[in-house]
Amino acid sequence: MASPSQVRYAGSMAVSTNSEPATSASLLVEEEWLAWPGMHGGRVMALSAGVATGLVDGLPLRAMSTRFLGAVRPGPVEAAAVLDHASRSSATVTVSLSQDGRITTLSTCSFTASTGEIVVPARPAPEVPPAEECNDFREAELLYPFARKLDIRPATDILPLSGASRAELTAWLRLREPESPLSTMLTLADAMPPGVYAVLDMPVPVPSLEISVHLHRPPTTETLLTGWTLAQQRNVQTGAGISIDECDMWDEDGRLVAQSRQLRRVLENGSLT
């Protein structure tokens, strides 16, 4: 759920054409979440998930895919969510965001119950210094305006645009104004600079076409999340018009909380060499 400072939320129940439960909401996107040229993708996911959870009774979100059809501009946004399917222990919700009558993003959200014990534990976090011993990376604000909303502490000596030999960026992240775990995790899942920036000297436009997030620890509480998240963004491959990034995220106790994978376009006027 987005914090009141980010959106105004005016949900209303409706019935969609296929008779499934549906909801709609008028949101307000604030300029401070801008990421050239539109709104930050993770923020779009967080807003959309907030609307989707309104249709699902108590089940935690475990997977979400968002397609970016066009830039989300600051100002009013219409959100529409449809409960595509629900059983006692799982549900699927589709959410669209529209501006001026045009759909800008499409998301699908998969919810399923959390029961039982962990049998196969997830891979541990990389060994890095604690966030308190890492320097704030204010330079990120030069890359994208929304970085002002984040506290970013690189945890290795590989920095964006440092011409490194490996396309991997590792940093501690937190929101400067704490929000709910769900909103925070989805926002942070797309908060790292593109992995390919590690090996570049100059930024290149690599806008996202889509992003898929899997949540290993269900964000079940609506208390604010004030702690640090360790994020490791690995570029899997860049070239031939695309750049595919993977991001793993751990909590302060070293538990894997989420993973994302996203498809970026390499714009034809952007030179990578």
Contact footprint for a second copy (CB under 8 A): 18, 62-63, 65, 67, 69-70, 84-85, 89-90, 92, 94, 103, 106, 108, 110, 112-123, 167, 195-196, 199, 209-210, 212, 214, 216, 218, 235-244, 256, 259, 261, 263, 265-266, 268, 272-273
DSSP H or E run through 183? helix 181-188
Strand pairing report for 75-86 and 90-99: antiparallel
Give the three-class secondary structure for 140: helix
Structure tokens at 217: 């620890």
Residue 58 CB, nearest distance to a second copy (Å)? Answer: 13
The smaller minimum CB distance to a second copy, of residues 145 and 270, is found at 270
Instruction: Compute the distance between CA of residue 64 and CA of residue 93 in angstroms, rounded to an integer.
Output: 9
Residue 254 CB, nearest distance to a second copy (Å)? Answer: 13
Residue 208 CB, nearest distance to a second copy (Å)? Answer: 10
Give the three-class secondary structure for 124: coil
Instruction: Compute the distance between CA of residue 140 and CA of residue 145 in angstroms, rounded to an integer.
Output: 8
The smaller minimum CB distance to a second copy, of residues 10 and 209, is found at 209
DSSP H or E run through 239? strand 229-239
Residue 70 CB, nearest distance to a second copy (Å)? Answer: 7
The smaller minimum CB distance to a second copy, of residues 232 and 259, is found at 259
The smaller minimum CB distance to a second copy, of residues 47 and 256, is found at 256
Residue 255 CB, nearest distance to a second copy (Å)? Answer: 9
Structure tokens at 109: 């959200």
The smaller minimum CB distance to a second copy, of residues 131 and 196, is found at 196
Phi, psi of 72 (to 5 degrees): -90, 120
